[in-house]
């Protein structure tokens, strides 16, 4: 009897679980999985967005790997994503360590301040930095002038040496808050005895961080890195707002080029193939990152 | 447990893949083909209000809101018209996406002279039957040369709204200070000499042109059109790419532009290739620059802000010293109806009302030069612009018409390749020749 009742309870729980999951699952399948499959199929076709589709099989992919410009845009995407992720994770960790050290009251204020860039819409962040980096009236050039370094004044978003790096900096500024919040929460979970034992052994705060904290919260750092990496690979808004992929095509990334290829050149199939290749690169990158941050799980 | 882990991993990877790829997907596979109506306009009164989308509200024009309001008022009992603001920066994407979605706006803003790529994809409704109905009653309301700008292979696809072409606005006070006479026609060499004098004597930047809305592409486009005319190339050959792009008269155009930028005549020196439209206009209004390249339809707005003596001057010619051969061409803002519009007859009815003298008068009163007959123009600046446009041809050759990729290269990349990436003139022309194939 008891066995039966327990089984029926399990079934009830299962049904309840599915009821909660179904709306989200339906939405994800409708809005993500179906379009992804349709996009994958489209990558083997030629379509101008209006007339009938024509099967071209691997022609789009061959074109992709033969097109030096598109490969350069893929490199730009990878460069932007990895550098932004590296910067955001390192700075986020640094900020988390600082916030943890300065205590709870001031720390909560600092957390809010450091997290604000991530909450501001991408378009606003982009415009803000376009103004800051403006060669004529921008804050940066005027500040350099003020401290006697006017020779370093530059058209930051026009110079091929600085344009992409400026976008990387803005990306880091926007994304480091996430790593900070996640890492800070993980550090707070650590028992005080761990810090105390290290202190007794003569280890300072830096030593505590590198010998105890970072190894223990490695999985959390990994999660933050994967999230940041995936978000950076998809980056469209910040590039579009700051440079539109220019000047010329210096800062053009695959997402920007996909939109251009599909909607300006009417090559939807080719654009879809770019999406598929980028997705594969993202998946491989995520697997590599997972491997890098994987390892022992500490119990305390 | 291990199996569960594997299944979870597969689900996570599939979802990651799907989420990333979602951004690249397009919507339904529309396979509709364009069909022009066989009969003339015979709009019937619907039982209930038809919902129409009018993608032609230009908020940058002081007349835009009032014209749309007048149109809505006119059809308030018949149609529910949604007025959509024109997003100039993404206009092509908006138009293509809308048409590809199968649910386009009923009317779209687009320049009649640049419709070819949409016509090639059968995306535009042939308006000829409507225009020529009743012995051409509607057709005869347009200025013929303007109407012809939207005519392709004998059929009308786009209708001109107002005369809008590239012009140079000059600060006459700075010209006077530099001892440079206001030209009524000039060559590129004279333009360079004037720039030199302005920089040295008036101590301001001579010239500014924005990269926004692809205005900076005017420099190579007009240069090449002008030199090709001098070389006896037919305009349609330049527009279709049947020319030798490696010829010296084309590379010379790029050399001229590179030298001009290297001489720091383009405002603000560093950053001259990425100027925003507002920045360029502000610099001109503040007297930091003597010449601003802009569209003629901004005349009234610029004149309102200028605190100096403002005048309009023609584009300098890199070919023969002639305004008819300087490469600048008469151009027009305009509208077209997509081939898959849900209510083509109603769309045409909207257009007929929009192009009526009553609504076009609102446009004229705000300082724009309409392309329909019977509208009085009182503003002297606009009259002057109409005079300049009278000397222009709307059929001047233009390399950006060759294909969408050429348009993209000229609009976004050419000047950056030339002035920032320091790619040689010959290599750029080779790339253009490749794109023209």
| Domain span including residue A228 | 79-248
Q: Please answer whether residues B23 and A256 qualify as being in contact, where contact means their C-beta atoms are separated by less than 8 angstroms.
A: no
For residue B71, what are its two tokens? 């149109």
The class (CATH top level) of B52-164+331-390 is alpha beta
C-beta atoms of B122 and A52 within 8 A: no
Q: Would you tell me which residues 110-129 of chain A have a C-beta closer than 8 angstroms to some C-beta of chain B?
A: none
Residues of chain B with pLDDT under 50: 1-2, 12, 19-20, 22-43
B311 Rama sector, left if φ>0, alpha if ψ -120 to 50, beta otherwise:
beta
Residue A60 belongs to some domain of the structure:
no
Task: Considering the domain delimited by B166-328+403-436, tell me its CATH architecture.
Answer: 3-Layer(aba) Sandwich (3.40)
pLDDT at A21 over 70: yes
Closest approach of chain B CAs to the CA of A259, in angstroms? 8
Q: What is the pLDDT of residues A47-61, one digit of tens each?
A: 988 788 999 999 999
What is the domain count for chain A?
A: 1
Residue A277 belongs to some domain of the structure:
no
Closest approach of chain B CAs to the CA of A50, in angstroms? 5
Closest approach of chain A CAs to the CA of B295, in angstroms? 22
The rounded distance, in Å, linking the Cα atoms of B379 and B395 is 27
* Residue A82 DSSP symbol: H
Closest approach of chain B CAs to the CA of A102, in angstroms? 37
> Which of B145, B99, B136 is CA-nearest to residue B391?
B145
Stated as kind and residue range, the H or E segment containing A91 is helix A68-101
C-beta atoms of A265 and B13 within 8 A: no
Q: What is the mean pLDDT of residues A51-75?
A: 94
Q: Please answer whether residues B292 and B281 qualify as being in contact, where contact means their C-beta atoms are separated by less than 8 angstroms.
A: yes
Q: Which residue has the higher pLDDT, A97 or B324?
A: A97
Cβ-based neighbours of B255, under 8 Å, separated by 6 or more: B425
Could you tell me what percent of chain A has a pLDDT over 70? 97
pLDDT at A98 over 90: yes
Is A138 an 8 Å CB contact of chain B?
A: no
- Dihedral sign, Cα of residue A135, residue A138, residue A140, residue A141: positive
The rounded distance, in Å, linking the Cα atoms of B220 and B411 is 10
Closest approach of chain B CAs to the CA of A230, in angstroms? 8
Q: What is the CATH number of the domain that holds A239?
A: 1.10.3720.10
Is B14 an 8 Å CB contact of chain A?
A: yes
Q: Please answer whether residues B128 and B156 qualify as being in contact, where contact means their C-beta atoms are separated by less than 8 angstroms.
A: yes
Mutate to test the interface with A, among B21, B406, B418 (most CBs of A within 10 A): B21
What SS3 string covers chain B?
Answer: CHHHHHHHHHHHHHHHHHHHHHCCCCCCCCCCCCCCCCCCCCCCCCCCCEEEEEEEECCCCCCHHHHHHHHHHHCCCCEEEEEEECCHHHHHHHHHHHHHHCCCCCEEECCHHHCHHHHHCCCECCCHHHHHHHHHCCHHHECHHHHHHHEECCEECEEEEEECCEEEEEEHHHHHHCCCCCCCCCEHHHHHHHHHHHHHHHCCEEEECCCHHHHHHHHHHHHHHHHHHHCCCCHHHHHHCCCCCCCHHHHHHHHHHHHHHHCCCECCCCCHHHCCHHHHHHHHHCCCEEEEEEEHHHHHHHHHHCCCCEEEECCCECCCCCHHHCCCCCCEEEEECECCCCCHHHHHHHHHHHCCHHHHHHHHHCCCCECECCCCCCCHHHHHHHHHHHCCCCCCCCHHHCCHHHHHHHHHHHHHHHHCCCCCHHHHHHHHHHHHC
The pLDDT value given to residue B32:
37
Residue carrying structure tokens 């050290």 = A101
Could you tell me what percent of chain A has a pLDDT over 90? 72
Is B270 an 8 Å CB contact of chain A?
A: yes
Decide: helix, strand or coil at residue A202. coil
Residue A152 belongs to some domain of the structure:
yes
Mutate to test the interface with B, among A36, A226, A253, A267 (most CBs of B within 10 A): A36
The pLDDT value given to residue B6:
61
Q: Please answer whether residues B215 and B209 qualify as being in contact, where contact means their C-beta atoms are separated by less than 8 angstroms.
A: yes
Q: Please answer whether residues B235 and B229 qualify as being in contact, where contact means their C-beta atoms are separated by less than 8 angstroms.
A: yes
Instruction: Nearest by CB to A266, from B14, B18, B404: name it.
Output: B404
Q: Please answer whether residues B160 and B147 qualify as being in contact, where contact means their C-beta atoms are separated by less than 8 angstroms.
A: yes
Q: What is the pLDDT of residues A219-260, one digit of tens each?
A: 999 999 999 999 999 889 999 999 999 898 999 999 999 999
Is A142 an 8 Å CB contact of chain B?
A: no
C-beta atoms of B279 and A233 within 8 A: no
The rounded distance, in Å, linking the Cα atoms of B242 and A123 is 42
CB-CB neighbours of B403 under 10 Å: 19
First to last CA, chain A: 41
Q: Which residues on chain A are in Cβ contact (under 8 Å) with B93? A: 259, 263-264
- Dihedral sign, Cα of residue B259, residue B264, residue B265, residue B270: positive
Q: Which residues on chain B are in Cβ contact (under 8 Å) with A49? A: 26, 30, 96-97, 99-100, 121
Q: Please answer whether residues B400 and B166 qualify as being in contact, where contact means their C-beta atoms are separated by less than 8 angstroms.
A: no
Closest approach of chain A CAs to the CA of B263, in angstroms? 17
Instruction: Nearest by CB to B26, from A42, A135, A157: name it.
Output: A42
CA distances from B260 to A181, B272, B290, B323 (A): 52, 11, 15, 21
For residue A130, what are its two tokens? 């376009």
For residue B235, what are its two tokens? 């305009």
Q: Which residues on chain B are in Cβ contact (under 8 Å) with A246? A: 211, 274, 412-413, 416
Q: What is the pLDDT of residues A130-139, one digit of tens each?
A: 999 998 889 9
> Which of A82, A69, A34 is CA-nearest to residue B27?
A34
The pLDDT value given to residue A50:
78
Angle, helices A218-233/A163-189, rounded to nearest 10 degrees:
150
Is A80 an 8 Å CB contact of chain B?
A: no
Q: Is the ipTM of this complex over 0.90?
A: no
CA distances from A65 to A40, A54, B390 (A): 17, 21, 50
Q: pTM above the 0.90 mark?
A: no
Domain ranges in chain B? Answer: 52-164+331-390, 166-328+403-436
């Amino acid at each position: 009897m008891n066995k039966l009742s327990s089984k029926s309870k399990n079934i009830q729980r299962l049904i309840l679980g599915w009821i909660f999951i179904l709306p989200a699952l339906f939405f994800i399948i409708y809005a993500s999985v179906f379009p992804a499959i349709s996009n994958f199929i489209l990558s083997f076709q030629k379509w101008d967005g209006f007339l009938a589709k024509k099967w071209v099989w691997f022609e789009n992919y061959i074109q992709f790997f033969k097109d030096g410009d598109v490969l350069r845009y893929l490199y730009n995407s990878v460069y932007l994503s990895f550098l932004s992720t590296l910067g955001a994770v390192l700075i986020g960790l640094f900020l988390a360590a600082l916030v943890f050290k300065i205590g709870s009251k001031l720390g909560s204020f600092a957390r809010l301040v450091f997290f604000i860039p991530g909450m501001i819409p991408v378009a606003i962040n982009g415009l803000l930095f376009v103004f800051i980096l403006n060669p004529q009236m921008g804050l940066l050039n005027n500040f350099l002038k003020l401290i006697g370094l006017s020779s370093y004044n530059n058209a930051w978003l026009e110079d091929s040496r600085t344009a992409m790096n400026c976008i990387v900096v803005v990306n880091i500024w926007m994304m480091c808050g996430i790593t900070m919040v996640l890492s800070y929460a993980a550090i707070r979970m650590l028992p005080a005895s761990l810090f105390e034992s290290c202190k007794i052994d003569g280890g300072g705060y830096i030593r505590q961080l590198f010998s105890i904290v970072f190894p223990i919260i490695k999985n959390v750092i990994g999660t933050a890195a994967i999230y940041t990496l995936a978000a950076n690979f998809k980056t469209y808004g910040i590039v579009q707002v700051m440079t539109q992929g220019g000047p010329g095509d210096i800062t053009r990334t695959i997402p920007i080029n996909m939109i251009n290829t599909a909607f300006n050149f009417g090559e939807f199939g080719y654009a879809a193939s770019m999406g598929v290749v980028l997705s594969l690169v993202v998946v491989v990158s995520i697997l590599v990152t997972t491997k890098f941050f994987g390892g022992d799980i500490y119990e305390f | 447990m291990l199996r569960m882990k594997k299944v979870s991993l597969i689900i996570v990877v599939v979802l990651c893949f799907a989420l990333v790829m979602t951004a690249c997907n397009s919507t339904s596979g529309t396979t509709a083909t364009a069909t022009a109506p066989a009969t003339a306009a015979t709009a019937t009164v619907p039982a209930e209000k038809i919902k129409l989308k009018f993608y032609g509200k230009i908020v940058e024009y002081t007349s835009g809101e009032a014209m749309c309001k007048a149109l809505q008022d006119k059809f308030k009992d018949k149609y529910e018209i949604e007025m959509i603001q024109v997003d100039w920066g993404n206009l092509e994407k908006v138009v293509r996406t809308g048409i590809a979605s199968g649910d386009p706006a009923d009317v779209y803003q687009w320049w009649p002279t640049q419709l070819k790529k949409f016509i090639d994809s059968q995306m535009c409704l042939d308006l000829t039957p409507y225009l020529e109905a009743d012995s051409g009653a509607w057709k005869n309301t347009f200025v013929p040369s303007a109407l012809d700008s939207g005519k392709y292979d004998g059929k009308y696809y786009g209708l001109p709204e107002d005369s809008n072409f590239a012009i140079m606005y000059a600060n006459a006070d700075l010209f006077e200070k530099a001892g440079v006479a206001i030209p009524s026609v000039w060559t590129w060499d004279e333009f360079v000499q004037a720039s030199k004098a302005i920089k040295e004597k008036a101590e301001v930047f001579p010239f500014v042109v924005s990269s926004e809305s692809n205005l900076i592409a005017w420099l190579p486009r007009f240069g090449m059109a002008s030199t090709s005319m001098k070389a006896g190339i037919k305009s349609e050959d330049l527009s279709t790419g049947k020319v030798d792009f490696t010829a010296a008269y084309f590379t010379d155009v790029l050399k001229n532009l590179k030298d001009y930028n290297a001489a720091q005549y383009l405002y603000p020196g560093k950053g001259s290739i990425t100027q925003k439209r507002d920045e360029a206009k502000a610099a001109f209004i503040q007297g930091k620059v003597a010449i601003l390249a802009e569209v003629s339809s901004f005349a009234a707005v610029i004149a309102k802000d200028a605190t100096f003596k403002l005048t309009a001057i023609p584009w300098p010619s890199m070919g023969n010293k002639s305004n008819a051969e300087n490469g600048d061409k008469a151009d027009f803002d305009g509208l077209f109806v997509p081939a898959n519009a849900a209510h083509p007859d109603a769309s045409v009815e909207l257009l007929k009302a929009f192009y009526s003298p009553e609504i076009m008068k609102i446009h004229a009163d705000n300082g724009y030069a309409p392309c329909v007959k019977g509208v009085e123009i009182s503003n002297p600046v606009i009259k002057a612009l109409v005079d300049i446009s009278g000397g222009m041809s709307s059929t001047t050759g233009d390399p950006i018409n060759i294909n969408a990729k050429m348009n993209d290269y000229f609009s976004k990349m050419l000047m950056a390749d030339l002035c920032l990436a320091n790619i040689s003139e010959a290599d750029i022309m080779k790339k253009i020749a490749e794109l023209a194939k």
